[in-house]
Structure 1
Amino acid sequence: MSWETANRNLITKAISELYFEEIISQKVREIEKGLYTLKIEENLSYIFEAHKSIWCHLIIDESSLKRTDGLELDAARFFKEIQPLTKMNAITLANFLEEMLHTLYSDQVILKKRISSRKLSQLNYLEIESYLDGHPKIILNKGRLGWSPDDLSAFSPENDRKIQFYRVAIKKDLITVSHQKEKNFSEIIYADLEKEEINLLKEKLANKQCDVKAYYIIPIHPWQWENKIKIFFQKDISKKNIVFLASAGDSYKPHISLRTFSNYSNSYLYDIKLPISILNTSCVRGIPAHYVAVASEISTGMEAIIRQDNLLFNSNMDCLKDIGAFSYIEPSYKDIVGAPYQYKEFLGAVWRESSVTKLKEKEQCLMTGALSYLDERKKSLIGCLIESSSLTMEEWLEAYFKSVVIPIYHLQSQYGIGLVAHGQNTLLKLNNNIPSGLIIKDFHGDLRLNKNFPRETGKFFPDKIIKKLDILPSDHIIYDLITGHFISVLRFISQALFLSHGYKEKKFYNLLGMIVHDYEKKYPTRSKTPSLLTPNYHRVLLNKVRFIIGYQDTAQRPKPQLGNPLLNPLIEKDYFHV
């Protein structure tokens, strides 16, 4: 039944998110309390039980979904039926269905291994990620265009297999490198290799008549080598600028983000982020060279800000520093202005601190996006954590908001720093299942600056760093928190708590509103950051972007669209202590 269940779940998610994005909302009607229809044509509707959330999306009971014509639920048929509403042209629709089929293929793997939230709560952070469904907002969240079923079996997080990277020598004078000042780049890249392995790799390189001292030996994902590097860098390979050596080093396991890997042999050693140039969710997953030259300095600045700020330090906030990074753009593509971005992101790596190194005794962590996990009995992971803690629901949520939301908001309000705080780059620390702190990571692309950042921020970010960061208007960058965390993470956490414990969304956001209100009274903004308690929020649309731009190459990563404003669920008069 996994095929039927996967189709049912995907259609349910699509109706919910496309209603939120106002693409099908004019065709949806509540015909009686809690019973809705999506009218496709005169004699065809989808009918389902649902209620409207505080965020104006539909929380649907997927088991109730059916067609009025009696045909089985089929996701491909559904997306073809709503083509007049999505306005996808035929070429985009055909590509969309291919991405949908890839998503369904992986969805079935996850469905077959689904476990209870109680069991999930007992696993470590990396084990948890192999059970998760992926991005909750993006309908086709496991497209992975470019991977075959064999590739998925070998490399996807849900298959939970260990990976050993290829080791490749590359001429030192060709690549852009950055690293922490107290570290040697060779020390970083050889951290997961035994001394005997290093000697053996160098011996292999010397046997190919290469000057060992002129090269760095770096890891490359096996798929990337076979499918991209061997083709696009064949000139460098023929000239021995790039030399394949062997598979070597520790075993790794992938995060749900696909490109980031944790060391399975020694969890205290660095995570490694590698390009895997497949289209997944919104873009092709390479390593942008733009940030590599300053990657380590950005995270050093972030760490310095956290350590000297009383609120951030006392809230037990940490960041995972980028210890080292490198990038090499194939020369034939380097000078093509406006070339599709993926051609300049094939070869690179980022070495990052492991989250384990930031945990105190008895602490554990998990990505915040995992909290909304619901098992087959509609039991939520966050609910299990709360039940096994010593706190009430309100006490636990207050601890979460003060550990996660307030520190991220503080970075914006006091330093003009925006982190796109989605469910993967914000890690919740837990002590006896009680929120105890926050770890943030991934500062190349997900970290931006408010154009009104205060002078103090310049003490931590020199001009050469600021020039590499995206700088946005104050009223735009606040959406790194609102869309990144409120709408893409908290929206689904509050939904999960309602489904599993009947905890009303109004109470959830009432509590958050009071905490934000108290914070704003104590900390007036120093960067013209708009209040989180404004009457309306922008409705940021992600799925609509794909419908509009299709699947053709672009010089830049796709940007979101805007819909009609949302009423801010954090504000009602009775929320605040006046």
Structure 2
Amino acid sequence: MPASIRSGRENGLDNNWLPLPVHPWQWQQKIAIDFIADLAEGRMVSLGEFGDLWLAQQSLRTLTNASRQGGLDIKLPLTIYNTSCYRGIPGKYIAAGPLASRWLQQVFATDATLKQSGAVILGEPAAGYVSHAGYAALVQAPYRYQEMLGVIWRENPCRWLKPDESPILMATLMECDENNQPLIGAYIDCSGLDAETWLTQLFRVVVVPLYHLLCRYGVALIAHGQNITLAMKKGVPQRVLLKDFQGDMRLVKDAFPEMDSLPQEVRDVTARLSADYLIHDLQTGHFVTVLRFVSPLMARLGVPERRFYQLLVAVLSDYMQEHPQMSARFALFSLFKPQIIRVVLNPVKLTWPDQDGGSRMLPNYLEDLQNPLWLATRD
């Protein structure tokens, strides 16, 4: 018998009750206080601590089952201010998340380019959300009080790994060891490849699937270092595993027929942007927030910044030449314009320090930056 059911029965609960995991910090600081009426009146019951042990990932509020390898990960609300917002779970995405991940898994299983890349979508088989009745009744109540209690169950990367593969977050490639030596250098040494060949392989398995998904289906994933898992074999990136489709997925405004099968429930809650803004989810979400920090480390390993981006340009150019039928889409989502949007988060904190609005603050768009991919093609 599952521990949650056993604990529920010990507390006199029948099968009409649903268990919901809560982070210990969130329980102590938020739920036990803000949901005190629900607890006092019996609409909510604390079952205490029991069951498997959990280990926090780098993203802090996503936890991996430390007792059962391959068990589902869980993503929980933590009402703490981190980067640009309080880290809750918005209720509007809960029903759409599992539908979005299933649709994406179908796309990745049937699209020839994505299938050949080996890229994987980490499914979100279930999710749950409990609103706070008092705050939900208030007009424009601060969003952080409306995102305090929920959960997303997500597949662990081990579910998709081959026996000779091991997973790492792509953020690992931005780190140095205790001797200030880049970890990416250790992977390159282990691979037996030269640095440029290794980087070319990295760009093929990560950037090409992301760009293809954008151009073919009009779907952008904000692929920062915590949302990308690399399947590694003997130090070589083999393929990418992608996650987080509740708020970190956006759609193009244009009518793409390839998007017709996307469930309406997903479209209703997913932001739609013009192509010139949507492209920044790849440029800012990956090139700026990930590759910008990998590039200086590679310069220390003998690959100058300009050469680093020339390798990326070469990989993208090869991909585009292999898909001439998509030339109009490549022009729509151009990666080689002289300027790219500059997105900044810190001014949001300074402008709205209390974050008391009913929705999350949007990032600021300042003056454009020179595009490193464009610069890499200049003589």
Report the TM-score range of the alignment, normalised by the length of the smaller protein: over 0.9
1:102-127 CA-to-partner distances (Å, cap 9, x unmatched) read: xxxxxxxxxxxxxxxxxxxxxxxxxx
Gaps of 5+ in 1: 1-194
Q: 1:504 aligns with which of 304, 324, 332?
A: 304
Pairing 1:388-403 to 2, within 5 Å after superposition? 388-403=190-205
Whether 1:541 aligns to 2:344 is yes
Larger relative contact order, structure 1 or 2 (CA cutoff 8 Å, min sep 6): 2
Match of 1:408 in 2: 210
Q: 2:317 aligns with which of 517, 542, 551?
A: 517
SS of the aligned residue for 1:418 comes to strand
Whether the 8 Å CA contact 1:224–1:277 is kept in 2: the answer is yes
SS of the aligned residue for 2:47 comes to strand
Q: 1:470 aligns with which of 262, 266, 271?
A: 271
RMSD (Å) for aligned C-alpha atoms: 1.8
- Structure 2: which amino acid aligns with 1:341? Y
SS of the aligned residue for 2:42 comes to coil
Q: 2:179 aligns with which of 374, 377, 391?
A: 377
Whether the 8 Å CA contact 1:414–1:525 is kept in 2: the answer is no
Whether 1:250 aligns to 2:52 is yes
Q: Please identify runs of 4+ aligned residues in structure 1 that moved more than 6 A.
A: none
Gaps of 5+ in 2: none
Q: 2:65 aligns with which of 256, 260, 263?
A: 263
Match of 1:51 in 2: none
Structure 1 residues 197, 572: closer, same or farther in 2, change over 3 A?
closer
SS of the aligned residue for 2:343 comes to strand
Match of 1:290 in 2: 92
Q: 1:205 aligns with which of 11, 15, 20?
A: 11
Whether the 8 Å CA contact 1:538–1:562 is kept in 2: the answer is yes
- Structure 1: which amino acid aligns with 2:170? T
Q: CA deviation at 1:575?
A: 7.2
Match of 1:358 in 2: 160
Q: CA deviation at 1:356?
A: 0.8
Q: CA deviation at 1:320?
A: 0.7
- Structure 1: which amino acid aligns with 2:320? E
Q: CA deviation at 1:377?
A: 3.5
Whether the 8 Å CA contact 2:79–2:87 is kept in 1: the answer is yes
Q: 1:555 aligns with which of 358, 367, 370?
A: 358
Q: CA deviation at 1:511?
A: 0.8
SS of the aligned residue for 1:295 comes to helix
Whole-angstrom distance in 1 between the partners of 2:220 and 2:95: 20
Whole-angstrom distance in 2 between the partners of 1:504 and 1:353: 37
Q: CA deviation at 1:300?
A: 0.1
Q: CA deviation at 1:525?
A: 5.2
- Structure 2: which amino acid aligns with 1:373? E
Whole-angstrom distance in 2 between the partners of 1:308 and 1:569: 33
Whether 1:488 aligns to 2:294 is no
Higher alpha-carbon deviation: 359-368 or 407-416: 359-368
Whole-angstrom distance in 1 between the partners of 2:155 and 2:362: 29
SS of the aligned residue for 1:245 comes to coil
Whether 1:570 aligns to 2:360 is no
Q: CA deviation at 1:498?
A: 1.5
Whole-angstrom distance in 1 between the partners of 2:370 and 2:290: 17
Structure 1 residues 216, 410: closer, same or farther in 2, change over 3 A?
same
Whole-angstrom distance in 2 between the partners of 1:383 and 1:408: 24
Q: How many residues align?
A: 376
Whether 1:386 aligns to 2:192 is no
SS of the aligned residue for 1:518 comes to helix
1:75-118 CA-to-partner distances (Å, cap 9, x unmatched) read: xxxxxxxxxxxxxxxxxxxxxxxxxxxxxxxxxxxxxxxxxxxx
Whether the 8 Å CA contact 2:169–2:226 is kept in 1: the answer is yes
Whole-angstrom distance in 2 between the partners of 1:443 and 1:201: 32
Identity %: 36
Match of 1:225 in 2: 27
Pairing 1:70-81 to 2, within 5 Å after superposition? none
Whole-angstrom distance in 2 between the partners of 1:474 and 1:307: 25
Q: CA deviation at 1:196?
A: 6.5
Whole-angstrom distance in 2 between the partners of 1:417 and 1:196: 38
Structure 1 residues 368, 246: closer, same or farther in 2, change over 3 A?
same
- Structure 1: which amino acid aligns with 2:286? H
Q: Quick check: which has more Rg, 1 or 2? A: 1
Whether the 8 Å CA contact 2:216–2:258 is kept in 1: the answer is no
Q: TM-score, normalised on structure 2? A: 0.95
1:524-546 CA-to-partner distances (Å, cap 9, x unmatched) read: 25657421111111121122222
